[in-house]
């Protein structure tokens, strides 16, 4: 079980819990604004871009090469950016805070 906090671009805070699947799927299920997950999680749409709170990066790990290639061209991306369809839900990410990218 992992508790995950999303902060949307309207500064709304949404706290949800999940046990399996990807963070993108969890966000879509709970209608987190700004996470559309258009491609269903295969890394082709970038509509699941989040900024991980810096101190939580150790829990989520850094972006994979496929993600950085995709995000490299996104003007809003930074070193804390992840495509959250590539973050698997598990106990390891309990408590992370994710800010939905513009």
Partner 1 sequence: MQKSELPDPFEKARLEKGIGEMKDQNDPVKMILRHKDVRKTAHNYKTFQSGAIPGRIVVPSEVNIRKTRQIPFELDPPIHGLYRAIVEPWFKRPLQVDYTEKLTDQISELVEETLKKDKVEVIGEFALVLQSRALTLLLNIPYEEAETWISWGTHVFRSEDTALDADKANILYDYIDKEIDKAIENPGADLYSMLLASEVEGKKLTREEVKGVMVLTFAGGRDTIINAVTNAIAYLSEHQESLERFRKEPEIIGKAVEEMIRYFSPLTQMGRVVTEDTHVCEHAVKADTRVSLCWASANRDDAVFENPNEIVLDRKINPHVGFGFSHHNCLGATHARQIMKVLLQTLADKIKSIEVFDYKENIEDLDEFKRKVGYDYINVKFNRLTN
Return residues touching ligand FES (CB under 6 A). Answer: 24, 37-39, 41, 43-48, 83, 85
Sign of CA dihedral 65, 69, 70, 72: positive
Among 19, 40, 62, 95, binds partner 1 (CB under 8 A): 40
Q: Tally Cβ neighbours within 10 Å of residue 90.
A: 13
H or E segment to which residue 23 belongs: helix 23-29
Q: Under a CB-based contact definition with an 8 Å cutoff, are residues 67 and 86 in contact?
A: yes
**24 binding partner (options partner 1, ligand FES, none; Cβ < 5 to 8 Å by kind):** ligand FES
Taking the complex as a whole, the smallest distance from the CB of residue 24 to partner 1 amounts, in Å, to: 12
Tell me the closest approach of the beta carbon of residue 79 to partner 1, in angstroms. Answer: 19
């Amino acid at each position: 079980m992992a508790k995950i906090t999303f902060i949307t671009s309207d500064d709304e805070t949404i706290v949800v819990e999940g046990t399996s699947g990807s963070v993108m799927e969890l966000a879509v299920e709970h209608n987190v604004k700004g996470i559309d997950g258009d491609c269903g999680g295969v890394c082709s749409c970038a509509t699941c871009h989040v900024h991980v709170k810096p101190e939580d990066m150790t829990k989520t790990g850094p972006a994979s090469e496929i993600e950085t290639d995709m995000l490299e061209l996104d003007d809003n991306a930074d070193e804390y950016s992840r495509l959250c369809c590539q973050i698997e839900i598990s106990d390891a990410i309990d408590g992370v805070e994710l800010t939905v990218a513009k």
